Amino acid sequence: MNFLASILPGVRQLRTPATVGALWVAAISVVAVPRWDKLRVNAGLAQAQAIMNAVPQTIEIAALVLIIYVIGCIATPLQLALGRRLIASVFAVIEWMIQQDLPGRPRRVRIAHRLHDHFADDPRCVTLPLEGALTTSFAQAGAPALACQVVPFAHVIESLESAAVQLGEKLPLQAEEYDRLRAESEFRGAIALPLSVLIGLVSVPISWLLLPVAVAVSAGLTFQAHQLRQRSRGLLAVCLHLGYVRSPLVDGLISAVKRMKLPEDASSGTWSAAISMAATYLGDWELSTQIQLEFYPGLAAEEPKNVQDFLDFLMLHEPDGVWFAVQELRKYGREVSEAYPAEPDPLA
């Protein structure tokens, strides 16, 4: 069992690029073989064939395996990104439907919300344990209950995925399950496109009516890959909530905020600005901006004092960026005092 557990992750990592490369080579062969008599007149192809004929067959096989693997390594991340982009597009359409077309139609609203949960990157099975874990972690540092809401869940999950090795020490069975879910998600998402292309190329000479089968195979595998990814992220979120793993991002943010020595009665606005500055100190400017964008429509609406405390903290620690925060707050209809700069200072 220990031997299998030690080699299975490597086998799973090898399986995906090898299969993807083999499918693309098969698809290319379906196109190239019937036209080989015309293609072989190409000088480059003729020279390559002459070289392959001159070397031993074992080297030919090794070279073919290497080519298949390299093609798979290049194509796999591109296809996974394409599949996630497709899921994100469907998710955006569902969100638009909920906001525009469905109010006042309870049954359709329920259906839309179920679809919303199926296509979301982080459904409720992920966000609920994450929110509990973040609330507990920040409360132990002295933060108000709502302050953790500005931390984007997606960034926390990504930090957990890079630190999932922690599971192997405390919960080996859960670590194995996480690795299986993640690898299976990548495998199905990666083979969706080349398999559908291969099915399409084989189907066209038979009947054009078989092309929808290729599309259905691709869509089905992409959706299954997304669901498996949701389950793997949900497993990490639950482990974080139960204290079996720790998020390097959350620990880093809390540690940086503690060094700022905020007063015990600091408001959610002050904490939100401090967490944003902590992300900057950690070198993650994208996260810092995202935290501020989470604050403007959320905690800024709770009470006017949050807005004032947020801007006061920025004025003290990052005065050059206050004007941008003022503009964003006003976009959301928040009342901002004229005492804060609304434009960047002109260069001297």
* 214, 203 Cβ separation under 8 angstroms: yes
Instruction: Write out the two tokens for 175.
Output: 């670590």
Position 223 scores a pLDDT of 93
Specify which of 75-79, 136-140, 265-269 reaches the highest per-range mean pLDDT.
75-79
Residue 302 has pLDDT above 90, yes or no: no
Residue 227 has pLDDT above 70, yes or no: yes
Q: Which residue's entry shows tokens 């922690």?
A: 166
> Does this model's pTM top 0.85?
no
- CA–CA gap between residue 215 and residue 192 (Å, rounded): 9
Q: Percent of the chain, pLDDT > 90? A: 20
- CA–CA gap between residue 71 and residue 50 (Å, rounded): 23
Span 54-90, pLDDT tens digits: 778 788 788 889 999 999 999 999 999 999 898 888 8
- Long-range CB contact pairs, 237-243, < 8 A, 24+: 237/125, 237/126, 237/127, 237/128, 237/129, 237/130, 237/133, 237/157, 237/160, 238/129, 239/167, 239/171, 239/174, 240/129, 240/130, 240/133, 240/156, 240/160, 241/129, 241/130, 241/132, 241/133
107-130 average pLDDT score: 76
Position 75 scores a pLDDT of 93
